[in-house]
Structure formats: C-alpha cells, structure tokens
Structure 1
Amino acid sequence: MKNITYFVLLGILAMQPLFAQHTLTGKITDAQTNESLAFVNIYFPQLEKGTNSNENGEFSIDNIPNGNHKLVISFVGYETFAKTILFPVSEPLNIQLNPSAIEMEAVIISTPFHKLQSQNVMKVERQSIKEMKASGAVNLSEGITNIAGVSSVSTGLSIGKPVIRGLSSNRVLVYAQGVRLENQQFGDEHGLGLNDAGIESVEVIKGPASLLYGSDALGGVLYLNPERFSAENSSEGNIRATYFTNTQGYNTSAGFKSSGSDFKYIFRGSVSEHSDYETQDYRVTNTRFREQDFKAGIGYQKNKFKTEIRYNINQSKLGIPEEIGEQNTNRTPLEPFQELTNHIFSSKSTVFFNNSSLDVTLGYLYNDRKEFEDHHHGDEEEPEDEDHEEEAHEEDEAAALHMKLKTFNYDAKYHLPYIGKFETIVGVQGMNQVNTNYGEELLIPDATTNDIGVLATSHIHFETIDIQLGARFDNRSITINDQIDRSFNSFNGAFGIKTNLFKKVTARLNLASGFRAPNLAELASDGTHEGTNRYEIGNLDLNNEQNLQIDLALEYKNEHVEVFANAFYNSISDYIFLNPDGNLIDGNPVYVYLQDNARLYGGEFGFHFHPHPLDWLHIETSFETVTGQLEDDNYLPLIPANSLHNTVRVEFEKDWFKQGYAFVKYSSTFDQNNVSAFETPTAAYNLLSAGFGCTVKAFKNDLEVSISATNITDENYINHLSRLKADGILNMGRNISFGLNYTL
C-alpha cells in the first residue's frame, strides 16, 4: 500500500498542464446603506487564496481554475457570506453584507464539504486559539475545556487528555496538520504532546465520526487547524509572550510567514517553562514542566495544482506528580518524569479538474517516549537544585520505559462533479504503525498495525432541507510480537438532516454508527506501570466496540438572541473497561479487561443575548450534562460533572486602541455522585475568572495586550477528572496571566 501511495503522489506532482486560469472581480457594500466596505476578507478555502477589499470596497483575485469553488466573505459586524461559484464567470460579483452583532462564522475544516457552521448538517464546535488564550488557559489541554461538551483528564497541569461527552483516550481521535495524531493515547498519563503555538483554531465533532476517520473516532474528533499562510504577496511576523503568576512560568513564541504568487512559507518556534503549580495551601510537587516546539511549512500553487508540506517537532520534559513533597519554584522535573519527542511530517496536495478535484494527504509521525522512575537513584540523597537534578539524570544509563511509535498514514478523497443537487466524495484512508520497546519496562508489546478504509459520502441540497449521508468499510490487522495476529472489520454509516422548522429556528438530526478496535494495552498488557498501582492483564479475545448515536440540535437565532439545545443518546456494544479480579501480583491488585454494553446520554444547552442598541454587550449562559452507565446500571468512570457557565462580555473601540474587550465568567461545577465502583464522589465548586485586552499601536505596528485571572477567589477544589484526586491533591489556585503579542 505504501508503494501505491507513493506512485499516486508522483502522478499528482506530474499533473501540471497549463489550464485556463480566471480572475474574479467584485465589490462589497453594506446591505442597508449601500456604502462601500473596505478591508473585507474575501477567501477561497479550498484554493487557500484570498484578498481584502480596497477603500472603495472593490477586490480582485487571480489564477482561479475551472470548476466549483466555495467563496467566503467575512467582516466584523456583519453576517458571513458564503457561496459556491462555478468558474469561469462572465460578470463581476457584487455582494451586499447584512449587519450583525453575532460573531463571524468560519469555514469548518474537519467535515468533508468545508462549509460554514450555519450550512453544516453536522453540528461542530469551533474556537480560536486566540479566544482560548484570552480566557487564561496555560496550555492547549486546558484551553479545550472552554468548548461546550469538552473536558480533560489531567495529571497535574502539563498532561491532559481530551474528553468528549464522557469518552476519552483511544475513543477520541486527534488530528493535527491534517493527519491523525498517534502518540500512545492509551496511557492514562499520556498527554497530547502538542503546543498551541502555530495552531489557529480547534474544531470538535461530538459523536461518532468513524465515517470520516475510521477507528478511534467512536467518541468524536478534536481537529487542530494549523496557522494559515499569509495572504498572497504579503509578509508578516510576530512575537508573543505570556507570564503566569501561579507557576511563575512563561509561554513564548516567534514566527514569520511570507507568500508570493506561487510559493509561500511559514515557521514558528516556541518555549514554555513552568514550576509546580500552587494551591491555597501548598505547591503540588513535580507538576513542573518544560516544552520546546518548532513548526515550519512551505506551500506551492500553480495552475490547477496546490500542495503544502508542514513539519512539527515538539520536545517536552514533564514531571509526574505522586505526592506533596518539597516546596520550591524550580522548573526542572524530579523523578518520575517523561521525556517526549514528537515529530509530525505532513503533505497535503490537491489537483483541480474542470468540475472535480482530488485531495491527497500523507503523514509520517515519530513518537519517542521515555519515562524515568525514582527507583533509579535508590536511597541516594535528593538533589537540592536544578543543576544537580540535571547531573543526576545524566548519570542514568537508560529510561525505565522507552517506546518508539512510527506511523505512516494516507488519505485520498475525490470530490466528484456536482450531479444536480448532489455533492459527493469518495475516498480511501489507511495507516501503517510500528511500536517498538527499548526500555527495561514493557507497558505494551512490540506490534505492527495496519488499517485500510473506503468511504463515500454525499451532501444533498434541497430548497429548504439539506441531507448528508454516507457509508464506510474498515479493516484493522494487528500483529503482536510477530506471533499473534488479530483482525477487526466494521461497516458504518451516517445520516443527517438540517432544516428550518420556522423562520428563525434551525434543526439538525444526525444518526451515526462508529467503532473502535481494541488497543494494544487492552489486548496484551501484562505488568505494572509506575504510578498506576495496579497490575493490568490484557485480553486477546476482545471484540470491536460498536456504537450508535442519535444527536438532535435546535437553534433559534435572531438579530439579538441565540438559543441552542443539543441532546444526544449514545449506545455502545462491547464497551471495554478495567475490572479487578481479586488477586494480587507483587502486592498490586490485578485488573483485567472486560466488555459489556454501555450507554451515555446528555447534552448542552444555552443562550447568547446581545441587546439592541447595546450591541457591544454580550451575556452568555451554557449548561452541560452527561451520564454514562453499563448495562447493569453501574456508572462509567471519568464522566465529567454537570456544569453551568455564565459570562458577561463587552467589546469596545477607541481612537487609541482597537478590538477592546473585557469579560467576567462564573462557572459552577456540581457534585458528581454518579461514580463507578472504584471512584469516590466529588464535591461541587465555583470558579470566578475575568480578563480584558485590546490592540494598540507601538512603533507603528499592532501590539495586543491581555490580562486574565482564573480562580480569582483562590478556591480549594478537585476536578472529578483529575488523576491526582485519589491522593486528595487540589487543582490549581488563583492564576493571573499577562500577555503581549507584537506584530512585526
């Protein structure tokens, strides 16, 4: 399969004949006043080409190939406009934008047809990294918890795993740079291994997305959109820095990007470093960490061919907290700690035909994971400072746990020509993955995994109804220690419908099936891992997890009020879970993997009020709930507690600063008493946060300034999804962050 894919790519690179290219011209005006609108963003997302309107509202975009291409026009204070245009066109395009206090919409990339959320049949949540930083999030894993229906299983501050509507680990698939992220997601204390620098936005599909992505998307998808290249024939750079009072830590990054008519490039480097986080009573020992990240990309577009290559290396050293010990603000982790190196190499190419196109995405990921345990030093005296800590580590001969995971994946999708009201995509996806152990401790065995899946999906546009449907077949084969072979197959489908029940009410109904093949830990574990305090034994006879979810979304929207209600019911057959068998090995209780049917249900509800004429005032409220149970009515573990969030936000502009904002947020997390047999209830808590920011001119360039504070009342609390909860260790206390972003 690798050779076939390479030949396909070479064929694509060779297909660059000179086809007719077209120019689109037009003018943007206000629908109410007919006044010209300057600096409006005009963008073709599939072509990744765009421009801004001039002072007269006029624009021009060159080198557009034949075929259907989606155009998106967006401007602050106006409704986002989207239209599919068939080229060639004979006349200029004149667009009138309607004023609106609602935030601008963006194109959703994680779904195959790349539509605005208002046009999507499937409900997808989206949030920009800029919004996450404004809320005071220290890193990406903390920032995603601001998205409705998304939580995080955390081990201190540096390690977090996304939870979507109660499902996590290998049940949630993460995409970065357009390729599926593979970094040992099965481990309880294995985080994302990603830095938010160089990421533009996050999209979340809440529900089975196996139709689009195959195995491991049973619970949903976290899709990370990389930073865009700069506009054609332009360059820009920036320097960012944020300081956090709680950890006495910092996040810094610097980047530059430039685009010509054919070539474009981008690069960004970042460093983050934090000491142990502080609660009202103590610092949590060994939650310190250091992370270095570098991202680069190059793009080329000519005639009917477009390609981009991106690379990301992330190196981090993460302390693994176990108990409250020494109290200081050193930043070098103590043992036990992880040393991680993640490489992501991706290539994304598109060939445009007259009325169709072919997308080919290739990815290679190299995950090098080392874990050092404190028994290496035995009874030696603990180092007293950071220099000695480094020397002590250098004396270690090898990591206790050392695994390398090498993954090659491919994704080819052909967008068929429009057939009447049908927009159709067919595709093939696959993966080859090799896991190899080098350390003395074996958490999972050496193994090779191969995936292949074929899919077809259509979006049908009617006058008042949009329908999306599709089907997919997958095969996964796993060879363990060159001796044991297991194969898993699954056929899945999806059906969705979107319509306007009334003039202002939109309804979406989606029914989808999904699956997940057992991971290596579930199939072949046999040992104790430091920090788990249990001996885990895998089960080679496990079957696929298979689920069916129904999702109903209602949305009312007028000029000043938005109200939404999302409800879901998720039925999972052969749900895999750990259970003690009553035995002990080396003094540790033995846990085995079992299967039973399970169900999860709940939803998200809320409203957004921006009254006229106070369009600068926004009042937002949302409520989230999820319940997970086995067939015998016992509750599933790691289900987030119900929560209520209330936010008041204002936006303002003055002559000397732009894009000003301020907010106050009060979040209430309720008691979690619906716990599994091996969990304890978690008490309720309330958190107050606030922040403000603006953009000012400094040396003729833009300087963004932001200040935010979280847990302002310094409340002592424990999140139900904290892995430190079993030891009674508190979550982070009050934290104030100061951020600067200077555009060069």
Structure 2
Amino acid sequence: MKILLLILCWLPQLAVAQAAEVTGAVRDQQRQPVPFASVGVVGTTVGATADAAGRFELRGVPAGPQRLRASAVGFAPAERRVTVAAGAPLTIDFGLTTSAADLGEVVVTGVSRATELRRSPVPIATLGRREITLNANTNVIDAAVRGIPGLSAVTTGPNVSKPFIRGLGYNRVLTLYNGLRQEGQQWGDEHGVEVDGYDIERVEVVKGPASLLYGSDAVAGVVNLLPALPDGPDGRLRGDVLNEYQSNNGLIGNSLGLNYQNHGFQTSFRASHRMARDYRNSVDGLVYNTGFRELTLTGMVGLSKAWGSTHAYLTLYDNRQEIPDGSRDSLSRRFTRQVFESGLDDIKNRPLVGEEELNSYAISPLHQRIRHYRVFTKTQVHLGGGELHLLLGAQQNNRKEFNHPTAPSQAGLALQLTTYTYDVRYHLPEWQGLQISVGSNGMGQLNRHQQATDFPIPNYDLLDAGGFLLLKKPLGQLELSGGLRYDTRLVTWSDFYVAPNPATGFDAQVQAGTAGAQLQFPAFRQWYRGVSASVGGSWLATERLTLRANLARGYRAPNIPEIGSNGLDPGAHIVYLGNRDFRPEFSWQQDVGALWHQPTVDVSVEVFHNYVQNFIYQARLLDAAGQPVVIVPGNTTYQFQQAAARLYGLEASLSLRPAALPWLTSTSNIAFVNGENADAARLERDGPAARYLPLLPPLRVRTELRATLPAREGARLTATYFRASLDASARQNRFLALDNSETATAGYALLGLGAGTTLTSRAGRPVAQFVLQVDNVFDTPYQAHLNRLKYFEYYAASPTGRTGIYNPGRNVAVKMVVPF
C-alpha cells in the first residue's frame, strides 16, 4: 500500500506538457443555442458546461490531436477532431441534432475503455443530472429506478432503497461511488446507499454480469454514481444552492455546492442536509417511524493536466433513520409504539402514537444511525503510449440500531465495518486496432461489533483480490470484445461467545470461559475462488440499426449473513440463520439486443436469459409440524437456502419526436423479468409454492410525454417544459409462496405531472432553475411488490380488509436551483 501511495505522489512528475484554451458555441439544427450542453475532451477529465446561450470555454486542453465532444439531453452527441497547438486559442462550434435515445453517449462503467452506448455488447443505461433534477426523489436510487428500465429497488420507507437489476439484488449488485465500491453492510434489508443524491451528476447502470471488471458482488450488474468535476472558467468560484420541499413527508432539502479551477488545479465542496417526518397515504394516514435526518459533506481536490489527472475525495455521511415496525391497534388501525423490552412487551397493550409525534421532525428513540466515512484517490496518467488508472480507497461504516425502549441510548446492533480498496488498470497502446487492458482489484475488510446487544453476524476478516484481461477489436462495422478474470476470497472469524450482562440485563460479547457464555459463532475459515469470462460484439448493420449480443459467466462468493448468520437483525425484525457449507454462485447470462435510431424515432429491445448455479435465497423456517419457528417473539425466522435458478425477461423502449411537432417528445419503456427455481428435487419436495424466486419485480410500463417550449433569442425564461407521466405495474402473481414468504400484489397505475423553467439574466446567464412536480396525482393507495413494509403486519385480519403498510400517497414537490 505504501509503495502505491508513493507512486501516486510521483506520477504527476512523470510527464509535463503544455495546454491551450478552446471556446465556441453549441447550437441545434435551427441554429438556436442549446442551453447548458456538456462539452469535453474525450479520454480526459477536461470539460465544461455551456451557458444559457450555448457558449462554452475549455481550459487546459492537452496539445496535440484531440476529440472534442458535445452532448445535451434530447440531442445526439457530436464530435469534432482537432489539433490543438500549445498556447494557441482555438474556436470550435458544434451542431446537435434532436435525439432522445443518446445512443452515441460515451460510458465508462462496465467497459474496458470509454465506449459509445451502441457499441457496448453489455447492456448499459445512463441517467444524467438534468433528469435527476427534474424528478423529486428521496434518494438517488429511486431517481435511477424512474429513468432506467430493468432497474428496481427493494424499499423500507421513503429513504431506504436497495438496487435490484433484472430480479437480482443485495450483494449481487455492486454499487460504486465514482468507481469506488460502496461497502456499508449492504446485505441488510433496511440498509440504504450512503451517498449524497444532490452531488450526483450521472448514473451508469450495467445490466448483467460485470464480474469481469469488478469481481464478486457484480454478478447481476453495477450501479455507478458519478459526481461532477469543476467545469467553470479558470480563476472563478462557481457553485449552486439547491432548496427542495416535498409535501407528503414534509421533506426539506438544502444543498450548497462550490467548485473552482485554475490552470489545471481543481477543487469542489458540497454540504447537503435533508430532514423528513413520517410519510402519509390514504390507507394508513401518517406511517409511524418513517422519518429521517441526513447530513452529507463532500470535498475534492485534484489536478487535471496534459499528462493526465489525479483527484482525492473525502465524504462524510451521517443519517438518523427511524425504524418502523408496523404495530397498531387491531380495530382502529392507528399505529402504536413499543415501551417495554421483548420479554414484557405485549403487542395488544402498546399505547397509541399521538398526532403530535406523527407530525414531528424529531427522531424517535427507536432508530438507526449510520455514519459513513470515505477517502480515496483516482489517478489517470498517459504512460508509455497507454493509460494507467489507479484507485486507492479507505472507508468506514458505523451502523447502530437503537431498539431498546427502556434503554434508548443502548444500541442493539452496533457494527463497525472498515474496508480498504485498490483498483489498478493499464490500457495498452493500440496494436493493429486491437485494444488490450489488464488490471487487478480487490479489498480487505474488518467487521467488528461495538458494545452491542444483538449479534446477527460474527466479527469477520475478509481478503479479496482478482485479476483480469480484456480485449476489444473493431472489424469494420463489427466490434468484438471479451476477456477473462480469476478471483479469490478468504473469509475468517474466530469463536464468538455471548452471555448476559448482569449490569444491563442484555446480552454482550464475552471471552471464552465467562460464566454463562454460549458459543454463538464457531470459528470459520474458507477460501472461495471463481473464474469469470465474457465474449460479445456489436454490429452496425446499417446507419440506423445496431445489433449486439453478449455471453457472460459471472461469479459471486457467499456473503457473511448467508454463511454466518445466527441472530436477530432488529431493524429487519427477522432472525437470520446461515449455512457454512454454501458454495459460490456462478451464472451464465445471454444478452441479445437491437437498437434502431432515426431523427424522429428511437427503438431498443433487450432480451436476456440467466441461469444461476447455487443460487442463495431466504425462506421461512418451519418446525416438524409445518408451523413457523419463532426464536425471538414478534420476529420471523428465515434460513438461507441454495438451489439452481433461472431468470429471463426483456426491456424495450420507444422514443418519438414528431417532425411536425419538434417541441414534443414521447418516451415509453417496459421491463419484465421472471425467475424460477430450477432445482427439480426441491420443486418435487416443496411443490408449486416454491416455483418462483423471491423479490421479483412485476411487469412495469412507464410512459412520459414532455413538451419543451422552443428557445427564443433574448428570452428570460429558457428550457421551459411541461410533462405528464404514467407509471404502471401489473399484478404480481409470480412470488415465492412457500411458507407464506410472500403474497400476491395488486397492480396499480400512478399519474405524475410536472413543469419547470430556467430564469436567465439579460446577458443569458442562468439565474435560477425551478421544478414543480406532483406524483400520484389521484392519491392512489398501492403496495409495491418490493416494498418490505407490505409485510409489516401483526394481525391475520384487518377490519378494513387491508393489511401491511402502503406506499406514500400524493406528493407535491418544489425545487429551486440557483447557480452562481
């Protein structure tokens, strides 16, 4: 590690080159300015955002041959090849043509080098800052789910969303922050993503095995959350102030961002704070204990020069998140709260929650507190005719769940997870068109309990490392790519004893030999190894039609709860039991896609099939009489199991831009996935109830109609739009019915309306951006199939005929962004 840090410090000394300034304007087919377009130098971090008049300035452009690229939402990207002379200013104008599909957009996640979307054999989808800003969401994962078909989320209230890709989630989906893998106890149902959504410039999603580049935990795909780099003129402090309010849970969000650059030096800072009280719907009223209070600080400092770039990031995240349990009065259906410990607690005699508490922003005593600290460096250097990429990171996640009503300051769950990460890649110089990339990445982890009373998993140490080789070769209109990877992981822990603490009355971790000590986690040591591979290609069959296909073998080592669980997760209200004999999962996925583009129509269709060996899933534990096992009263008991599984489905999208109505766009997409148990012996033993896999998203269709008023020279209001959306989910009859693990979910359709505009100064500079959005206009009561609160119910029947907790009702959101 020390050697790598020394190399990082000296890399900027390896090469020195001069740079120049490039200015110009971005316009559309009618020669009208394209406000706030993005302009950058391909393969570097040099970039800028055009102003409201479409004008841009690029500083620090490396001398020599370069590819300049301009892009904007609703337009096809355009490129210009230029030769930049050191110290000589250059003026370049771009003309963009209307396009909603952005098939020429460049992506970096899941591919060896920056690649156009249409040329990637692996399905990749993106969501830009403008689309994130135009939606009102309580977290960045929900924003991505709205805009990317095939992506869904398991939710616990409005602020905890775990990404699922094509029916697979948890440790099968790898979440990255700017390329750094996010490690924060993501195995748990109620654990969200510790990232500031206001800071995210772009989301890139790989749909399908990405184990080749990232190793274990990317067997279902990758979600990469990318922050912005400074893009203003040299020597000028820039930034923005964001204010947001949402009516449903009274969410108040504020964020201040600052950025500065001068002759290649870059720095940025963002502070964001959000708070919300309990959310509301027409069935449950205010849902008790669903509020939160979140603070995030993000800082960056770096250099961007002709030799490459290096940036260092530091993020601090602090979230107090209430923990709902769904207890309520059996007749009135009003929510109640726990006041005694489990031994004395009687669900039928809990007091009612008052209106004042339901409407309060104060965080209740029963809550979880998550603090996540992250520091890492990213370096890119032109070296030996190729490019070296190096990422070094360290992060720590401190998670406490306060679940003792008689001792509110005593955490039930208290875990400290420390992770050290490295990722090094070298892109060799092209040889006869062949692009070769080699690299290695991995991590070391230590997870420790901190003065806890509940111990669902053991203290453990983890070492993970893998190496890969990637090849890409263009053959005219055909482009082939493939590669190979080998991974190894070592998981160890020592004997872990638990005994009652006489001073507190709660359990505590103790040493062997302590009076009353019980061995909860016997010592464990296991190596896991796996080979991943991928081969695919894209073919530009015509100027408008692109065909692509990919075959991939993915690998995933079992996570700690799956092999080591033996206790209550208080936030999930579930006792988990693991299996120490689990083997790694291996998947074989086939993807076939077709993309059609023309000026007025874009169509894409993606079909996939995924066979998973040794698939690990949860199912309720029953006793010999077929009755649910209750280890901790008021909590269900689940045991992890392993079997073969098969998933298949499709995603399709259609974008229309009528030539007669250039201001109007219509976008529709559909996503379907089905997952079934492929183990014949288990199906014979358990019957039809075990046919389907758990947590399958239903068939989903989303349509949006957007009208954008044409830009007028000298107008003070620009980029004004009106939008209407319909988000519909079909009834989900494909669920894991074994032991009543899941139930069917009714279908629903939600109407959304929105509008927005940007106020500009007389000089054409943006002054403020305004967004108004109404979700669930008709206040439709519904339960999403992947909403965990749907199953938070203590009674077998309800006087209203409705059980569980429903999703949020109507929400009116207003947002204002003031750039400076």
1:364 to 391, 394, 402: 394
The one-letter amino acid of 1:627's match is: N
- Larger CA deviation: 246-255 vs 115-124: 115-124
In the alignment, is the contact (CA less than 8 A) between 2:400 and 2:411 conserved in 1? yes
Q: 1:303 and 1:367 mapped to 2: Cα distance? A: 36
User: Greater shift after overlay, 247-256 or 83-92?
Assistant: 83-92
Separation (CA, whole Å) in 2 of partners of 1:443 and 1:298:
39
- Find the aligned partners of 2:30 and 2:244 in 1 and give their Cα distance: 42
Q: Is the 8 A contact 1:288 1:333 kept in 2?
A: yes
1:637-716 equivalences under 5 Å are 637-652=694-709, 653-654=711-712, 655-676=715-736, 677=738, 678-697=741-760, 701-716=766-781
Question: How far, CA to CA, are the matches of 1:618 and 1:78 in structure 2?
Answer: 12
Give the Cα separation in 1 of the matches to 2:574 and 2:378. 43
SS of match in other structure, 2:171: helix
| Aligned residue in 2 for 1:730 | 806
Matched residue, 2:562: 522
- Of 69, 74, 81, 2:71 maps to 74
The whole-number CA distance in structure 2 between the counterparts of 1:696 and 1:564 is 35
Q: Match of 1:618? A: 665
Measured after TM superposition, the shift of residue 614 of structure 1 is 1.0
Over 3 Å counting, the alpha-carbon distance change for 1:662 and 1:586 in structure 2 is closer
Deviation of the 1:481 alpha carbon: 2.3
Instruction: Report the aligned-residue RMSD.
Output: 2.9
Contact 1:101–1:615 (Cα < 8 Å) also in 2: no
Give the whole-Å Cα distance in 1 for the aligned partners of 2:558 and 2:63: 45
Distance 1:344 1:125 in 2: 26
Do residues 604 (structure 1) and 645 (structure 2) align? no
- Taking a change above 3 Å as real, the CA distance of residues 590 and 82 of structure 1, as seen in their structure-2 partners, is same
In 2, the alpha carbon distance for the partners of 1:34 and 1:658 equals: 16
1:114 aligns with 114
Shift of 1:114: 1.5
Aligned equivalent of 1:383 = none
Closer/same/farther in 2, CA of residues 724 and 586 from structure 1, 3 Å limit:
closer
1:574 matched to 2:614:
yes
Is contact 2:471–2:481 with CA below 8 Å preserved after alignment? yes
Q: Distance in 1 between matches of 2:169 and 2:92?
A: 47
Q: Is the 8 A contact 1:16 1:305 kept in 2?
A: no
Change (3 A) 1:73 1:376: same
Cα deviation, 1:687-722, whole Å, max 9, x if unaligned, reads: 000100000136975110110000000011100001
Q: Deviations over 1:651-705 (max 9, x none)?
A: 1145220011111011211100111022110001110001000001369751101
Q: 1:243·1:737 contact (CA, 8 Å) conserved in 2?
A: yes
Q: Which letter does structure 2 place at the counterpart of 1:449?
A: L
Residue of structure 2 in register with 1:267 after alignment: 269
**1:65–1:352 CA contact under 8 A, matched in 2:** no
TM-score, length-normalised on structure 2? 0.83
Contact 1:360 1:412 in 2 (8 A): yes
Q: Does structure 2 conserve the Cα–Cα contact (< 8 Å) formed by 1:178 and 1:346?
A: no
Letter in structure 1 aligned against 2:743: T
Greater alpha carbon shift after TM alignment, 179-188 vs 324-333: 324-333
* Aligned residue in 2 for 1:388: none
Shift of 1:443: 1.7
Alignment of 1:297-376 (within 5 A): 297-323=300-326, 324-325=335-336, 326=353, 327=355, 328-353=358-383, 355-376=385-406
Contact kept, 8 Å, 1:50 with 1:232, in 2: the verdict is no
Offset from partner CA, 1:276-327 (integer Å, 9 cap, x none): 0010131111001110111110111345242101111110000111123324
Shift of 1:505: 1.3
Instruction: Kindly state the Cα deviation for residue 217 of structure 1 after the two structures are TM-superposed.
Output: 0.3
Q: What's 2:481 paired with?
A: 468
Please name the residue that 1:252 is paired with.
254
Moved more, 80-89 or 52-61: 52-61
Q: Does the CA contact (< 8 Å) of 1:336 and 1:372 recur in 2? A: yes
Q: Take 1:29 and 1:743, find their aligned partners in 2: how far apart are those partners?
A: 20
Alpha-carbon shift at residue 11 of structure 1 (Å): 4.9
Give the distance between the partners of 2:37 and 2:176, measured in 1 at CA.
30
Structure 2 distance, partners of 1:151, 1:561, is 26
Residues 76, 182 of structure 1: alpha-carbon distance in 2 compared, 3 angstrom cutoff: closer
Q: 2:62 aligns with which of 61, 64, 77?
A: 64
Tell me the CA shift for residue 441 of structure 1.
1.2
Q: 1:295 aligns with which of 288, 295, 298?
A: 298
Letter in 2 for 1:334: S
User: Cα 1:696–1:485, aligned 2, differ >3 Å: closer, same or farther?
Assistant: same
**Alpha-carbon offset, residue 74 of structure 1:** 3.0
Counterpart CA distance in 1 for 2:38 and 2:600 is 24
Paired AA for residue 130 in structure 2: K
Tell me if the contact between 1:657 and 1:696 (Cα under 8 Å) persists in the aligned partners. Answer: yes
Q: Shift in Å at residue 10 of structure 1?
A: 4.4
Structure 1: distance between partners of 2:469 and 2:200:
29
What is the letter of the counterpart of residue 806 of structure 2?
L
Structure 2 contact 60–305 (Cα < 8 Å) conserved: no
Which whole-Å CA distance do the structure 1 matches of 2:405 and 2:321 have between them? 17
- Where in structure 1 are there 5+ consecutive unaligned residues? 378-392
Deviations 1:174-217 (A, max 9, x none): 00032000000111111112220211111110101000111100
Q: CA deviation at 1:238?
A: 1.1
Residues 556, 564 of structure 1: 8 Å contact kept = yes
Say whether the 8 Å CA contact 2:39–2:50 is kept in structure 1: yes
The structure-2 alpha-carbon separation of the partners of 1:467 and 1:86, relative to structure 1 and needing over 3 Å to count, comes to: farther
State the Cα distance separating 1:539 from its structure 2 match: 1.1
Q: Distance in 1 between matches of 2:548 and 2:494?
A: 46
Alpha carbons of structure 1 residues 97 and 302: separation in structure 2 relative to 1, 3 Å: closer
Q: CA deviation at 1:60?
A: 7.0
The 5 Å alignment of 1:123-522 reads 123-146=123-146, 147-233=148-234, 234-281=236-283, 282-323=285-326, 324-325=335-336, 326=353, 327=355, 328-353=358-383, 355-377=385-407, 393=408, 396=409, 398-438=410-450, 439-481=452-494, 483-522=523-562
CA contact (8 A) 1:476 1:489 kept: yes
Contact 2:404 2:411 in 1 (8 A): no
Distance 1:552 1:582, change over 3 A: same
Residues 1:701 and 1:581: Cα distance change in structure 2 (over 3 Å): closer
In structure 2, distance between residues paired with 1:732 and 1:169: 23
Asked if structure 2 preserves the Cα contact closer than 8 Å seen for 1:46 and 1:69, the reply is no
Which sits farther off after the overlay, 261-270 or 652-661? Answer: 652-661
Quick one: distance in 2 between partners of 1:528 and 1:35?
61
Gaps of 5+ in 2: 327-334, 337-352, 496-522, 624-628, 684-689, 794-803
CA distance in 2, matches of 1:31, 1:422: 35
* Kept after mapping to 1: 8 A contact 2:401/2:570: no
Listed one character per residue, the Cα deviations across residues 4-37 of structure 1 (whole Å, up to 9, x for unaligned) are 5334434535x4343x435586977989799999
Task: Work out the CA distance in 2 between the residues paired with 1:533 and 1:40.
Answer: 48
Distance 1:347 1:530 in 2: 36
1:24-65 per-position Cα deviation (integer Å, ceiling 9, x unaligned): 869779897999999975412432113579999997765516
Structure 1 stretches of 4+ with a deviation exceeding 6 A read 24-40, 52-60, 83-96
User: For residues 335 and 637 of structure 1, do their structure 2 counterparts lie closer, same or farther at Cα, with a shift above 3 Å needed?
Assistant: farther
What is the aligned counterpart of 1:540 among 580, 604, 608? Answer: 580
Among candidates 635, 652, 674, match of residue 692 of structure 2: 635
* Offset, 1:354: 5.1
What is the CA-CA distance between 1:77 and the residue it aligns to?
A: 6.9
Deviates more, 1:501-510 or 1:418-427: 501-510
Q: In structure 2, do the counterparts of structure 1 residues 219 and 464 end up closer, same or farther at CA, with 3 Å as the change threshold?
A: same
C-alpha distance in structure 1 between counterparts of 2:724 and 2:34, whole Å: 33
In structure 2, what is the Cα distance between the partners aligned to 1:422 and 1:85?
24
Contact 2:40/2:58 (<8 A) preserved: no
